[in-house]
Amino acid sequence: MTNLDQINNLEHVDKQSMLRHIQELPDQIENCWEEMKSFVMPANYIKLSNVVILGMGGSAVGGFLAKALAFSTSKVPIEVVNSYHLPNYVGPETLVIGLSYSGNTEETLTTFREAGKKKAKLVAITMGGELASIASNFKAPVYTINYGSQPRAALGYLFTAVLGVLSKLDLVDLGKDDVRESAVLMRGLATKLNPEVPTYQNEAKKLAITMEDKLPIIAGAGVMAPVAYRWRTQINENGKHLAYSLELPELCHNWLAGLKVPQPLLKQTYVLFIQSKHENERNRIRQNIIGQILRKQGVKYDIISLQLSGCVLSEMLVTIYLGDYVSYYMAILKDIDPTKVEEIEYLKKQLS
Ligand code: F6R
């Protein structure tokens, strides 16, 4: 096991600077928000019946987060589609946001083209690729991401650009300082999670070590459900580690009943509840009761709650930030480059 406090070795393992990208997440969010101010949406886009966000993997996460944040304010339904098919209701009064970092993801291209044929109002958020070309053919606006990284490491752009689009259409309610406040809080947290902070004071390193030989299951409610999902995907892709995410209160109605077998797997399982100060009080009560059940079954669990004073957006982003660092250290512990995702690339190559 690599000692997380021997930081001189980091560059040998983190060959493509994943740490730098994680550290740049607050900058990404602020840059994108600034750029979105001059992003012009066609005037007729204001008349909408629904919104569909298309994306896969790291790009889809931006959509899931935006959907959760807009849940209590949007006057129209918002759906995220991460498959080959569009819902039947997509039509001229649907805003379809094509979200693909590379602009070349097969599923997203398929549904984006179909949405164009159905005369939906299109917007593309991408580095370029085929998605940008399709959008141009349909004379749709394109927000171009100017940032070189793995898609998942550009979440600051992917998420904030969707928020920018939704806020121009009054579908999400963001305070004028929410983005700046989030970036400030994230930078503050980074000083506590960076590699020079020793394990005994560093929550991200501690969590990475706790999860090292475990099967992590990350659970959250409301806005923390997609945050838990981001943790899971980062642990998978950066940490090269099997993990799952669950949503509260739904898990109380099924998953709980399965905590019996296989026993060896239960011993290996680690459940992490991510709390939010904005969530329904009943979910906290549920978490405590589930905790008692988990203890009885010999399953290790923890509850994290960053309990910041800020807005919902900042709570989501800061919690994501902690997860990103955890996933990074999980790779370092294994002596594996956090950037490489060989299996995903192999699969894409085989399909092409
Ligand atoms: C890789 C990653 C993947 C991609 C996904 C879709 O870092 O996060 O999950 O996001 O394969 O590709 P894009 O985002 O280019 O549409």
The reply to whether 156 and 204 lie within a common domain is no
> How confident is the model at residue 6, as a pLDDT?
86
Using CA positions, which residue lies closest to atom 5 of ligand 1?
57
Q: Catalytic pick from 30, 130, 181, 237?
A: 237
Tell me how far CA of residue 271 lies from CA of 215, 217, 339, in angstroms: 8, 5, 25
pTM: 0.97
> How confident is the model at residue 1, as a pLDDT?
59
| Peptide bond connecting 262 to the previous residue in cis, omega within 30 degrees of 0 | yes
> How confident is the model at residue 306, as a pLDDT?
83
The reply to whether 156 and 214 lie within a common domain is no
| Ligand 1, residues at Cβ distance < 6 Å | 56-59, 100-102, 105, 108, 150-152, 237, 341, 344
253 is catalytic: yes
196 is catalytic: no
pLDDT in 10s for each residue of the chain, 352 residues: 578 998 877 888 999 999 999 999 999 999 999 999 999 999 999 999 999 999 999 999 999 999 999 999 999 999 999 999 999 999 999 999 999 999 999 999 999 999 999 999 999 999 999 999 999 999 999 999 999 999 999 999 999 999 999 999 999 999 999 999 999 999 999 999 999 999 999 999 999 999 999 999 999 999 999 999 999 999 999 999 999 999 999 999 999 999 999 999 999 999 999 999 888 999 999 999 999 999 999 999 999 988 777 899 999 999 999 999 999 999 999 999 999 999 999 999 999 8
The reply to whether 186 and 322 lie within a common domain is yes
Residue 237, Cβ density class (10 Å: 0-12 exposed, 13-18 middle, ≥19 buried): buried
Helix axes 312-334, 57-70, angle to 10 degrees: 150
> How confident is the model at residue 225, as a pLDDT?
98
Range of the domain at 192: 7-14+178-334
The reply to whether 134 and 186 lie within a common domain is no
Q: Which CATH number is 116's domain given?
A: 3.40.50.10490
Tell me how far CA of residue 300 lies from CA of 129, 214, 217, 293, in angstroms: 45, 9, 11, 11
Helix axes 25-36, 312-334, angle to 10 degrees: 140
348 is catalytic: yes
The reply to whether 182 and 318 lie within a common domain is yes
The reply to whether 206 and 137 lie within a common domain is no
**Cα separation, 1 vs 152, whole angstroms:** 26
